Structure 1
């Protein structure tokens, strides 16, 4: 492919996806993708900051507990409660400590997640009044109150059997345990896969106390996996009556003024100002990136660029893109414009008319000239070279004929 391509004359349409001659506006600007990516980043940043702000400002009391037995979502435990009822176990859901204490007796199992809203004294009194207690989510405080042990290894086995002498677990099979716990004195650890720790801790001194991380075991999303349902029945179905206590801040007994009511109260003081600052920065960035509206406006360049440099630059780009058709179109457009000027025709004369005038001037076949100036363009470099030579020969012949006519007396 030759690199000496002539610039397109005024009035000719550029090929799709190319730069219009004499204009600074790109029909398809590759930088548009970068601008869109910048806007997408700004939008994502604003959404993330707004989401974090909502998480820090929504009161925790307005969010239902993830182990709620009346919640049918993936994090609820309604399926386990219905299975217990199907086995003849009475399940009462209570949302206040007073109702839970009134419902407890010596044939009742108290089921709850970590009672984070209760003080140590209230939590100790609540579990003391229950015959059996099953805690579905762990905390160091409740491990201490129930005297079961402490947190164990963070690495859980993929499968575990009961590996303990608790008869109720004999037919559970295998489970995929979550958090493991290290048992305290006189506490039995089960489902630990021989690690010494256990996914379930049980102490039985006339009144059973048990703790298990039920996130991946008893929620609606995971209850049907492995032996999770059987384990839930074994733990919660030992007594004919279950009192399922759902803690909330509405039922708190804490009276200290600095008790956390929102997630924002649990974070350092600089977090909220930092989030506000990030939101302001995101807004300013959006204004900064969006300060220009509408299409680009052509402006006078502060320097003069020679036409030959532009021509060679476009030729190199065309050669690099291997776009023979576009190069041939540029060559033919330039030849047509110069022939029209030499033949005294209008600058935007029809290429067919220019071809006819050129054929008459050099006494050549009109069909051949029309095929050259209006026919199909070459598609390969091998076809482009003779096409360019034919255009050059036609232009030279017309120039020679016009010069002879001018010099003829």
Structure 2
């Protein structure tokens, strides 16, 4: 018996080194560009958020939530509007002359700092009153909710409110003793005026009344000019996050840990990087490996057939024959690769004219009980394939 030599194996074409290097360089360039784009988008979003936070009630902002319009109106009436963004500058500006301090919420300042600023001003207008500032500067007062979006009359004796007329107050507040309340709505008042030794403190919801988008409604502009324009100087204080006199009493994580922890963490990171460089695997181009033995497909099929015969399992062997036949029939009939077996059987019966029950018996229903019936089923499967091939490609059918 003569041994048949296995056909020579084709070697995979080698990838030129320059092409692989170009691909790696292009990949790193693409990664760098992607990181730059992501960083730019993140920076733009961060800048937009910072601008939105600064624009709320800011006299330099022309956005809907800014207050540039009322600042310009005050300047047209001869009032000098000075915008300050730190506590020291606000104190210096208030010391130059009698002035009105326009004060939004200042959570970064202590109670003493807020009180000191208010005492340095002749008048104070709280345009974003919170519970703390109301308790400090308008004793006995507190937030009381939000009024319905409808205009109400002043219903008080405060001349500035009477001249301004009706308006929709937005937030409302409860009034303490000695306070003159105006614009009653929803169980509270839209304006509180509390007299002091040298002037007064007024509290009003500036977001609902004095912003650029609401200033032209009702008597909002008139009320703003009446409250803020009583003196020739307006100091508009816009506190920043860094402008604070509060000491951080909470210890940091570094203060809580022993001094040797940070050097150990750095050492572990360096050791991890060194281990990665030492043991890391660099992936290069694929290398074609020559196999020691090439097994032909016919030998694999014969080996499986002997295993099925030894196991006396004709049903399993029939399933394998039917799976192969169904795959080939689906290709011949132009069906999808995931077509169901009944669909393939019906298509084969319709194309060849063979009885549908007979085709389904060959491809699905018949169960061989021994080797003879398995051989007969194999023959019928081959005949069915030949019939379908003859119906689909008559010029290629065997004669």
Could you tell me the TM-score, scaled by structure 1's length? 0.50
What's the CA shift for 1:250? Answer: 2.3
How many Å separate the matches in 1 of 2:210 and 2:188? Answer: 20
How many Å separate the matches in 2 of 1:172 and 1:59? Answer: 35
What's the CA shift for 1:164? Answer: 0.7
Which of 228, 232, 240 does residue 236 from structure 1 map onto? 228
Which residue is 1:139 aligned to? 130
How many Å separate the matches in 1 of 2:222 and 2:122? Answer: 21
How many Å separate the matches in 1 of 2:219 and 2:209? Answer: 9
- Change in 2 beyond 3 A, CA 1:196/1:300: closer
Q: How does 1:371-382 map to 2 (within 5 A)?
A: none
Structure 1 residues 311-362: Cα deviation after superposition (integer angstroms, max 9, x where no partner)? 9xxxxxxxxxxxxxxxxxxxxxxxxxxxxxxxxx99xxxxxxxxxxxxxxxx
Which of 196, 200, 207 does residue 191 from structure 2 map onto? 200
Q: How does 1:7-406 map to 2 (within 5 A)?
A: 63-105=53-95, 107-148=98-139, 149-156=141-148, 158-193=150-185, 197-206=188-197, 207-256=199-248, 258=250, 298-305=336-343, 307=346
Please identify which structure carries the higher helix content.
2
- Change in 2 beyond 3 A, CA 1:251/1:61: farther
Structure 1 residues 208-257: Cα deviation after superposition (integer angstroms, max 9, x where no partner)? 00111111211111111111100101111111111111100121112215
Give the gaps of 5 or more residues in structure 1. 1-49, 260-296, 312-344, 347-409
Aligned residues: 228
What's the CA shift for 1:151? Answer: 1.2
Greater relative contact order (CA < 8 Å, ≥ 6 in sequence): 1
How many Å separate the matches in 1 of 2:50 and 2:124? Answer: 25
- Change in 2 beyond 3 A, CA 1:117/1:65: farther
How many Å separate the matches in 1 of 2:105 and 2:168? Answer: 21
Structure 1 residues 24-83: Cα deviation after superposition (integer angstroms, max 9, x where no partner)? xxxxxxxxxxxxxxxxxxxxxxxxxx99xx78x999799415111111111110100000
What's the CA shift for 1:307? Answer: 4.2
Structure 1 residues 86-118: Cα deviation after superposition (integer angstroms, max 9, x where no partner)? 111111111111111112156210002111221
How many Å separate the matches in 1 of 2:132 and 2:181? Answer: 19
How many Å separate the matches in 2 of 1:186 and 1:200? Answer: 14
**Which shifted more, 77-86 or 172-181?**
172-181
8 Å Cα contact 2:147-2:169 kept in structure 1:
no
How many Å separate the matches in 1 of 2:250 and 2:171? Answer: 31
